[in-house]
Amino acid sequence: MYRIAVLSYHTSPLAPLGGAETGGLNVYVLELASELAERGHTVDVFTRRTDPAQAEIVHIGEGAPGTRIIHIDAGPARYLEKRALDAHLDAFEAGVAGFAERESLSYDVVHSHYWLSGVAGAKLKVRWGVPHVAMFHTLGEVKARARVSEREPEPRLAAERMIAQDADKIVVASRDEQQLLVRHYDADPDRIAVVPCGVNLGMFQPVDKDEARQQLGLGDDDQILLFVGRIEPLKGVDILLGAAAQMEGQSDCFVLVIGGDSDARTGEMAHLRDLAEELGIAERVSFLGAVDHERLPLFYSAADVCVVPSFYESFGLVALEAMACGTPVVASRVGGLTVAVRDGETGYLIPWRCPEPFAERLELLLGNDELRRAFGQAAREEVERFRWSNVAEAVLGIYGEVIDGTPARTTAVFRN
């Protein structure tokens, strides 16, 4: 059995979802750690303390060895924007090492999430003499190319290049991301393992649409398009709004936007509210803010279509959650979405990031109940292969490879 040090420096897996820095990464870390612990491995997840009241150690799940969330003092114990976090990386790395020394712990592998954690992971690899497995989740070079307005600081890009060269193994969610790492970071393709994201099929499962709408106070006959995710330009909510405005004869079509602060009057949320007004659809768009993760299956089940118009998406977790609830997806043909969605079977993949092609496919689905139901049923069947248990088995294989040289075998169900 392995003792695994997981680094999630910039965001805690316990943080409420839907905030500025919480999303798929948080879900991934917590779900994978729980699956590994169920298999008898010991998982310590290290994250930065953001509240003085946070306990140093929080136990997750029941029984031994289980999973622990360990809060490390690194900078002020409050929320900091990402651009301020690299200044406290040395303190975080020293804090993790100090905790291990104080507890007389030795780890078999370090698994870092995001580039900030990857910097600390590279140092702990040397300090402890153990292999380092890295996951970037998003890549600065790719974000900059995906949307012209995106700008990433050079320290991030330099750090990502270092990690890409130094890590013993890099885990990515799609072959597309693997190719991007090779192309833009000169990473060794043999040190990159493709393991698609997982989905909690116990939580995300179909709810009767009428019942879901009744619980949410939504109209029985309304056509509902759903967006779930962080409210930032890269997520392409403006594309969805533009598509909704172009759909002819859809006066009963409503857009629900879940994520961010629904009361925000500045930044991207303010821009989207203004855009909805300009497009003449403000009365058909509801910005709901963050929603408890446990309530998301109701929204997915109540929606006719889930729309994921991202410019860049490493995982496609929202698409998997919607599919698990039997709801078809219309998404951008990027990153992990190309793995999650089967074009023309469980939804549609759009190669152009503009409203017109999204509107065309949405009109087709909303106007054809039989097609929509067929896609939804196929989506639920397709998503069975993305169980977190499959992800855990694949990641354990990677650990075995870097720890003792055992050849890793990617779970067959992930192969396209």
| pLDDT at 11 (0 to 100) | 87
What is the dihedral angle through the alpha carbons of 193, 196, 202, 203, rounded to the nearest 10 degrees?
A: 120
pLDDT tens column, 212-231: 999 999 998 899 999 999 89
Q: What is the average pLDDT score of the chain?
A: 91
CA distance 354 to 79: 34
* Whether the domain at 3-198+387-414 and the domain at 209-384 fall into the same CATH topology: yes
Q: Which residues contact 326 (CB under 8 A, 6 or more apart)?
A: 206, 301, 376, 377, 379, 380
Which secondary-structure segment (H or E) carries 172?
A: strand 169-172
pLDDT tens column, 352-394: 889 999 999 999 999 999 999 999 999 999 999 999 999 999 9
Give the chain's end-to-end CA distance (angstroms, integer).
31
User: Is the omega angle on the peptide bond into residue 65 within 30 degrees of 0, that is, cis?
Assistant: yes
CA distance 272 to 288: 13
> Average pLDDT, stretch 132-149?
84
CA distance 387 to 407: 22
CA 156 vs CA 117, 124, 153: distances in Å: 11, 19, 6
| 79 φ, ψ (degrees, to nearest 5) | -65, 135
CA 289 vs CA 264, 329, 330: distances in Å: 9, 21, 21
| pLDDT > 90: percent of the chain | 76
- Say if residue 85's pLDDT is above 60: yes
| pLDDT at 24 (0 to 100) | 77
User: Residue ranges of the domains in the chain?
Assistant: 3-198+387-414, 209-384
Architecture of domain 209-384: 3-Layer(aba) Sandwich (3.40)
What angle in degrees, to the nearest 10, is found between the helix axes of 154-166 and 114-128?
A: 40
| pLDDT > 70: percent of the chain | 92
Residue with structure tokens 């354990």? 396
| pLDDT at 251 (0 to 100) | 65
Residue with structure tokens 């790719």? 142
Which secondary-structure segment (H or E) carries 289?
A: strand 285-289
Q: Which fold has domain 3-198+387-414?
A: Rossmann fold (3.40.50)
Q: How far is CA 294 from the centre of its chain?
A: 16
pLDDT tens column, 274-312: 999 999 999 999 999 989 889 999 999 999 999 999 998
| pLDDT at 412 (0 to 100) | 45
Q: Look at residues 352, 391, 393, 409 and name the one whose alpha carbon lies nearest to residue 200.
A: 391
pLDDT tens column, 314-331: 888 999 999 999 999 999
